[in-house]
Amino acid sequence: MLEMRPSCERCDKDLPADGNGAMICSFECTFCAECVRDVLSGICPNCGGGFEPRPARPTALLPRHPASTKRVFNPTGSDHTPETFSVSRG
């Protein structure tokens, strides 16, 4: 199940789980569509992979399947790698 992180890693903009506009890479690095398009040129700064639009979670399911509340704010992309992601997951 996707973490559905609540914010953009680069600009800390809110990205509601039941809304559009969030982009994720295969490690679920999460950015807003504007950062991906205008700043990152579609390449994840943490792992070098590409992005896909994050599917919205239906609002009705959020009480039973809540989105992550852990904000990740890492505008430089410098302090984590795919290896640390695999350790920190779940």
Question: Residue 41 CB, nearest distance to Zn ion (Å)?
Answer: 14
Sign of the Cα torsion 62, 65, 69, 72 reads negative
Q: Considering only 15-23, 46-54, 58-66, 68-76, which stretch makes contact with Zn ion by CB under 5 A? A: 46-54
Question: Residue 2 CB, nearest distance to Zn ion (Å)?
Answer: 14
Which strand (E) or helix (H) includes residue 32?
A: strand 30-32
Q: Does 10 bind Zn ion (CB under 5 A)?
A: yes
Nearest to 78 by CA among 51, 46, 41: 46
Q: Considering only 11-19, 53-61, 67-75, which stretch makes contact with Zn ion by CB under 5 A? A: 11-19
